Amino acid sequence: MNPQMEIGSDEKALHINLDSTKYGTFAEIGAGQEVARRFFRVGGAAGTIAKTMSAYDMTFSDAIYGLADRYVSRVRLQTMLDHEYDLLIERLDQKFGADKTFFVFADTIAARSFKERNESHGWLAVRFQSQPRTQPSQIIIHVRLLDETNVDQQEALGIIGLNLLYGAFYLPQPEKLISSLQENLQPGRLEVDMIKFSGPLFEKVDNRLMSLQLVSQGLTDAVMFKADGETVQPAEVFYKRAILVERGSFRPVTHATNDMLDGARQVFQKHCSCADEDIVELMEMTLENLRADGEVKHADFLARVDSLRALGRPVLISKFREYYRLAGYLFRYTNKAIGLVMGVPSLTEILNEKYYVNLEGGILEALGRMFKGGLKLYVYPRIDEATGKIVTATQVKVAPNLRSLFQYLIDNQYVQEITDYHPEYLRIHPADVLAKLQSGDSRWEQMVPPEVAHIIKKREFFGYRRPIAA
């Protein structure tokens, strides 16, 4: 966004304070009352703020909002919103309800500790009426605070909380609201890696597209949503679990896509000694893979996601073109086993030095970052079209100067062959499947899982063309 178009933080706070229709509660836990403070500082807050509070002590917090397993969590944020909004309506609706739109702003934050360098993050939300005495709408976000000092994190929190409130009140288009979250904040101070819109004002909003906006607008490097389409903060899913990730374009999902993941899981389970419920299987798409003609087409994106949803697969959307960056992201959330699933062509790309010219240590630095946590690559074989022979991971040809390095990866079992697979699936290529389904050649249906074929035909994904009757 052009900085000249941004509205200053004090101007935003004053604008809200002078809006006689807005009246509500601020409940903030964990980093001071930084958002409410912005409104008090500019003057006129008495016309906006009915109450501010901060229950730091766990006993007090539990007495107000109920017991909690985790205090910095979406669950705790939701109980804060429920309690404070119900109280606001109960006490003030008769007095002000005909003329004002009520709101509750809440946050629960783990800011930088004075004793240790903990992960600094938090949940923020606003529940608000768009018209007097109407059902409220709601916006929830999760942020990672990246400043080095507690004071700087508090300042950043105050700014983004104010931006969220201002956007909810005055920016009805969700894409513009998302863009406004960065206003008056220098790059690198925080990330927003989850957002969810709900309520009558946002009935037509697809939160998967809003998650995509967070990545494409640069607010975060990756977002995640479960197979049911629910947008989630990655730590909610990854925490203390082993992770198996397959990257692809999934346009469309084929039998080979599934075969690759199924074969990898057989080997991965032996290595991690994990129960099924302790393993997260994840499909990842990069923003680059989603771009067509330089831009992301929403219908195409949703077609891919819904095809994966038909198979019960959660999805990660990322900006990580290089695998070592994806690995670093996953290391952030778990100390359990991590496996990256790929075909032989992707392994060949990983071993190509041209992708690491921007790193001071080149390919050695990239591979060092990738494998530092014991991560392993699970590699699906391919058919050599010229000879008809199967090429496995250990048979990949690399540049002469990298042969010893590649052998080191094999000897130390960082590269694992997928040996349990269906040879007939090796000849299935997404580009061929796509060409057939777009030309009316019904043979493509035998190349994809039946659930995927059904949803493609039913909803006419990927330019599907019905077969012409003979």
Residue 291: which pLDDT band, with cuts at 50, 70 and 90? confident
pLDDT, tens digit, for every residue of 65-99? 998 888 899 999 999 999 999 999 999 999 999 99
- What is the rounded radius of gyration, in angstroms, for the C-alpha atoms of the chain? 25
Residue 370: which pLDDT band, with cuts at 50, 70 and 90? very high
pLDDT for the residue 469: 64
Residue 112: which pLDDT band, with cuts at 50, 70 and 90? confident
Please state whether beta strands 222-225 and 315-318 pair in parallel, antiparallel, or not at all (unpaired): antiparallel
Q: Is the pLDDT of residue 294 over 90?
A: no
Percent of the residues in the chain that have a pLDDT greater than 70, as a whole number: 97
Non-local CB neighbours of 337 within 8 Å, separated by 6+ positions: 242, 243, 268, 271, 272, 274, 374, 376
Contact assessment for residue 190 and residue 183, using Cβ atoms and an 8 Å cutoff = no
Instruction: State the CATH architecture for 3-205.
Output: Alpha-Beta Complex (3.90)
pLDDT for the residue 117: 64
pLDDT for the residue 293: 60
Q: Is the pLDDT of residue 425 over 50?
A: yes
Residue 46: which pLDDT band, with cuts at 50, 70 and 90? very high
DSSP 8-state code for residue 467: P
Q: Is the pLDDT of residue 101 over 90?
A: yes
Identity of the residue numbered 78: Q
List 101's β-bridge partners, or say none. Answer: 22
Q: Is the pLDDT of residue 374 over 70?
A: yes
| SS3 (DSSP) at 279 | strand
Q: Is the pLDDT of residue 120 over 70?
A: yes
Averaged pLDDT for residues 179-190: 95
pLDDT for the residue 239: 85
- β-sheet with 101-110: strand ranges across: 49-53, 22-29, 101-110, 121-128, 137-145, 190-198
pLDDT for the residue 1: 39
Instruction: Name the least confident of 6-10, 291-295, 347-351.
Output: 291-295
pLDDT for the residue 104: 98
pLDDT for the residue 30: 81
- CA–CA gap between residue 369 and residue 328 (Å, rounded): 7
Percent of the residues in the chain that have a pLDDT greater than 90, as a whole number: 82
- Angle (CA) 135-136-138 rounded to 5° is 150
Contact assessment for residue 128 and residue 101, using Cβ atoms and an 8 Å cutoff = yes
Q: Is the pLDDT of residue 470 over 60?
A: no
Residue 342: which pLDDT band, with cuts at 50, 70 and 90? very high
- Angle (CA) 144-147-152 rounded to 5° is 115
- CA–CA gap between residue 160 and residue 124 (Å, rounded): 9
- One fold for 3-205 and 236-427: no
pLDDT for the residue 388: 87
pLDDT for the residue 111: 85
pLDDT for the residue 182: 94
Averaged pLDDT for residues 49-68: 90
Show me where the domains of the chain are located.
Answer: 3-205, 236-427
Residue 292: which pLDDT band, with cuts at 50, 70 and 90? low
pLDDT for the residue 3: 40
| SS3 (DSSP) at 422 | coil
State the CATH class of domain 236-427: alpha beta
**Residue of higher predicted confidence among 239 and 426:** 426
